[in-house]
Structure 1
Amino acid sequence: MNNFLKTGKMLHNRDLPKLIVIGNESCDLDSVVCSISLAFHISKSPASLKIKQNYDHVLPVLNVTRENLPLKTEVVYYLRENDIDLNDLVCKDEIYLPETSSNTNFVLVDHHLSKYRVNVIGVVDHRPFDPNSALNHDIFIYIEEVGSCATLIASLIEKSSILESNLEEYHIVLKLLYGAIVLDTVNLSKQADKTRKLDLEMLQLIEDYLHVTDTHRQELFNSLVFNRNDISSLNTLEVLSKDLKILTRNGRTIAIPGFPLLVQDYILRDNAETAVFEFANRVAANVLILMGMKINSSNTDVSRDIGLINIDDVDLYTKMKNRIMSTEARSFGFEIIPDVDFNQGVLFKQKNVKCSRKQLIPMINYVLDNVLLS
């Protein structure tokens, strides 16, 4: 693995035919390990994605700037735990990524909406398929709603039958994927309800190969949650960029920062109100939706809340608030938290903790698609 990454770093800016494997812009642990693991696997077994073209190199790219990589605390921790040198990785601001090109193609992991869609030749994702993705029709697509995209990468590897003869080479790959699955399924938590049959099958597969015990899995989960929640080195502004999704349609932008703490706790931090407006200005957002989540690692109990804040578009803010309070959002169990005065916004407790940003995004897109029509 390390030789593979070092070679990619040496070749990444040469004008050679290359295949870029890139995760989503939140650059969370799932996206990062999927991009690294799938790029490595494609280099060993291109037939797994029915790739016929020859590439000088298959390169994983982290969908984050080098400056912001330290904000991804659990990512940095887990890569180092697996002896991966962060300097051997390529971040998105360190390489030219053309939207159209004759010698650069893309494989998307953990997302399938992309400005690179013209040159996308493969997709592996665990989100519901978006008909607006405008992907080419003749590409490899593996989309299944499971707890972790890493589960799908593990499944592709298992189907290729390469592990039987290359287990030593794939040792780090399996460890990386394992961590992402454990974290994304909240260690198989029934309350979070993210685990699906294939997640269980791939966890069992990896545990058999690596001789992992249940005790180790719990310890790993605790360490990943601790490092994801450890924002002691981040200031109040940086926390907003730790886990970020930005949606833009019809000239309007909604930014959705995810927190490893509840929004109710974030707004108590020093300079929180100032940081929110500074952040919104940086990302040119009209409205912010802050999504908080707190996990008790000892019993995997989950709490969620969200904050809706208008920056400079009261019409968009109002329509988003109405949508959150409508019957269409009933499955989230949103409930206004009274007597909260934060940037003239509104905070909601989310009683159904099984719903995540992944389920909220279609609702946000609906508002963005229709705000100009009213």
Structure 2
Amino acid sequence: ALKDSLLAAKAANAVRPKALVFGNTSADMDSVIGAMAMSWHLSSLTQSKGLLYSPVVNCARDELRLRIEIAHHLGRFQLDKEFLEKSVYFMDELLAKEGDAMLEVESVALFDFNKLNPEFERHGLPDKVHFVTDHHVDNEMYAGSIKRKQIELIGSATTLVVQDLKADGFFEDPGQVEELAQLSLFLAAPILLDSYNFSEKLYQ
């Protein structure tokens, strides 16, 4: 379901993006995996309105291979380079959009940060930031456009998305036991990494 959602969203946003979920500029495990999950969740809520959210990995496409732990984790779940080309935006790919293509963006979500990077401010995107999910200090921006903001100082921002998915019944289909088990493993990686395997020292 996650893969199908990402593929459908990228197809819908291919020429002139309409809805995007930006991961933060570190493009770490929490940012990349969580942005994918948040895109899936938001798309499920807005599909009836014709909006499908595509995740944005906030680095150049060629840089992802240097993030070995992320590439390895994605590969374990068959999210290889070919799949990512069809399902995910990268920062350089968006910046290369010609003319006024980016001006048609209708909705922006920020994941794992709460201040859009300057490269995208000239496209008018700050006025379209509707959702923020983060675990860093709040910069208190986008008050005029924000629809929902979740900021909690916890180990991993992906935890907040998992809570939303769980609340909306994404883990309750008894006919999808194997798929849900794989989804749980996929989402567990950033949570374990950012919490240092749930280390109590993180909270001291």
TM class by smaller structure: 0.7 to 0.9
Aligned to 2:113: 111
Please state whether the residue corresponding to 1:187 is helix, strand or coil. coil
TM-score by length of 1: 0.45
- The one-letter code of the counterpart of 2:27 is C
Cα distance in 2 for partners of 1:160, 1:7 equals 20
Aligned to 2:165: 157
Q: Is the 8 A contact 1:37 1:173 kept in 2?
A: no
- The one-letter code of the counterpart of 1:121 is H
Offset of residue 170 of structure 1:
4.5
Cα distance in 2 for partners of 1:10, 1:52 equals 14
Q: 1:165 to 1:10 in 2, by over 3 A?
A: same
Q: 1:100 to 1:81 in 2, by over 3 A?
A: closer
Q: Is the 8 A contact 1:100 1:118 kept in 2?
A: no
Aligned to 2:38: 38
Structure with the larger RCO, 1 or 2 (CA within 8 Å, 6+ apart): 2
**1:64 equivalent in alignment to 2:70:** no
Aligned to 1:140: 148
More helix by share: 2
**1:101 equivalent in alignment to 2:100:** no
Q: Is the 8 A contact 1:21 1:35 kept in 2?
A: yes
Q: 1:141 to 1:166 in 2, by over 3 A?
A: farther
Aligned to 1:177: 187
User: What is the alpha-carbon root mean square deviation over aligned residues?
Assistant: 2.7
Aligned to 2:200: 190
Q: Is the 8 A contact 1:108 1:122 kept in 2?
A: yes
Counting matched residue pairs gives 187
Aligned to 1:205: none
Greater Rg by CA = 1
Please state whether the residue corresponding to 1:60 is helix, strand or coil. strand
- The one-letter code of the counterpart of 1:101 is L
Deviations 1:70-116 (A, max 9, x none): 12111111111122123322212223497973443211100011133
Any stretches of 5+ residues in structure 2 without a counterpart? none
Specify which of 75, 98, 109 is matched with residue 80 of structure 1.
Answer: 75
Q: 1:166 to 1:140 in 2, by over 3 A?
A: farther
Specify which of 136, 139, 157 is matched with residue 130 of structure 1.
Answer: 139
TM-score by length of 2: 0.79
- The one-letter code of the counterpart of 1:176 is F
Offset of residue 137 of structure 1:
5.2
1:235-250 equivalences under 5 Å are none
Q: 1:14 to 1:161 in 2, by over 3 A?
A: same
